Chain A
Amino acid sequence: MNNDQYLLAIETSCDETAVAVIKNETELVANVVASQIESHKRFGGVVPEIASRHHIEQITVTLEEALQEAGMTLDDMDAIGVTEGPGLVGALLVGVNAAKGIAFARQKPLVGVHHIAGHIYASRLEKEFEFPLLALVVSGGHTELVLMKGHNDFEVIGETRDDAAGEAYDKVARLLKLSYPGGPEIDKLAAAGEPVIDFPRAWLEEGSFDFSFSGLKSAVTNKLHNAGQKGEEFRPEDVAASFQESVVEVLSTKTKKAAAAYGVKQVIVAGGVAANSGLRARLLETFQETGQELLIPPLKFCTDNAAMIAAAGAVAYRQGHRAGWDLNAHPGLDLEEYGKRGRN
């Protein structure tokens, strides 16, 4: 009797059409990502309708490729997982309905997965979780500190009160006239610059693990504007380095304090901004000192992919979480509420 568990997962929440197959929660068998980044470049950001159109064009191709890569058929799957939210509603709908179509056609259980849970579980593809753990989630839409005391047990202990860190990156990239997506471009520039400008750090009130990046965003705007009027000029490398220094210092300091306050065993960095080399280096330094284990997924698992959805979905499936045929896309799905489903 074969007790291996296989789950196929679909991710279409933003601008990547992705399908993955996972074995026993942590062994990746196939991972296919069709990126649309080139199609959105000329618009300077993701256009939801265009993203949705690409998803419907790519979905069956990506499914076929993933099964080929796995050398398996749908018969071998125990369940189908899909990103249910958060994300762009039109984009999510393609994945959700494709997942339902497959699950119904082959009479397989269906599991809805939270996108951020996926980003966190990307780290489990590399190393087994040890609880309690703390996840710093940083992406275009999210900046959160999430405490986990067990599988699918999420407590958001800090979150952004205005902009996500990724949004600030995009805004500053536009000010510096960098190409889309701006985050990696700033990271590259920053490496060649010096943090000579003292941009503000939003610490908020004592003991708070919340974030705020809108003040930093306007500080950069004003600084560049005023300099321009006085005929001064900053090297873009130095602006990028100074901006990144401010973001990285706030993120790493708050993460360090939260990790100490909750006595966690592991610290996970998740989301697209986890690919940032400045942030990676600072966090490595920080947690070398404290001795807490730092898990940062490899670059390919930081950006959106289905391997992470499969990793999170397989745990939800084991915990008994099942979606009905009326599963919908939930662009504002709450992480804590989502986690409770599987455990009830």
Chain B
Amino acid sequence: MSFAFTVRCAGFGAILSVLASGGLAPAAHAEDVTLTVWSHEADEPAKVVFRNKAAADLEKSHPGLQVKITWYEKDGLYTALRTALPAGRGPDVFYLEPDQMHQYVTAGYIMPLDNLVNWNQIYPWAREVWQENGKTWGIPQEVNLNVIFYNKDWLQKLGVSLPANQQFGQAAFLDLIVKARAAGMTPIAQGVGDRPYPGAYILGEALLHKLGKDDYGKLWAGKLSFADPRVVAVLTWVKQLADAGAYPKDFMTMKLGESFYYFYSKPGALMLPMGSFYSGRAFAPPDKGGQPADFPAGVMLFPAMDGGACNNCETSGIGSSFVINAASKHPKEAAAFLDAMSTPEMAQMWINDVYEPAAMKTTAQGFSGPHAAYLDAVMGSQKGIEYFTGMPLDVIQQGQCKDAFAQVLNSAFPGGLLSVDKAVPTMNAACFGH
């Protein structure tokens, strides 16, 4: 075998490679742009339809532009981003939530949007959540309001009436849990099998009520000790709930989606503490895991705490949001896609089809559609409410504290595996003073 033969082989191989890679395919138009988008919420059909419509609208108004959306679940998306972005292979636009903002801004992976998108379409308070270092980094879509969904028929069966302000007191709520258990009902459908936060809904809101917004923020920022008597009082109350059997026995392994089904279908539960993104799963068709058409869902506020500093406080969070990759070669097209998802018409579609409060402004008055009553109930419960923006995991910045939150306050403590005496030092060791 000679060198010349080798070269001929190599040359032939090279030709084959060129052919295989489409070298003889028709050349693309110079103005053609493919905008890549990575989105979470693959399992929420209404949101998939919403974003696909925005993409289709944009393609129609921008000939030559193609929007390619890749759908993920959240964990998979975040893992993919963490490997793709440092390698310079990230998408132009991607889904992100505000709890991730700090690290992405620090890393320089997302670009400021202040001068890129049309902020007249977004509520200023929702925009504020995405601000850091005086710049705005993400465009919000979903507004979460933390409430407790409950089964009206079951509450009636227990002979309990919801107070006019839709909020039980501390003792009454504990009594409700005890009564439900005695009647053979699961009081609260909740599981932490695949999420680091649902187990702490009751605890988090109780802490917010007891401490008020400022001290509550300090607690998650590591500036208030978990040994503070007010925190200990709340932990003691939550421990009483857990010991009274508030949560299902498979609390540790139940997944978020399963907890919805548990609540409104089988085996059923009295309550489901959840963000208002409840609708994303609940209003899917019943044969795809949605709630039965005649399910008597009601909305109540989280219980008031004895001596609470702010019993009319409530956590509101910004959920679904999108950002632009700082390395994107098509920032204008990317911004156009963000704008296309934020028009008043799209905002109305979000409210009517996704059934969630929107961060985008809409001109329409009231709600319509088959589940309008749901939004009326959620929004009707919000009179006189003061909002604390951000779930605990949005506010905690330090990794060790986040991990301790997920393991202790989200799962082991409400799961009844830890006493207050053990939970306090564990949380302090991970969070306080860091």
Decide if A and B are genuine partners.
no
List B residues at the A interface (Cβ < 8 Å).
Answer: none
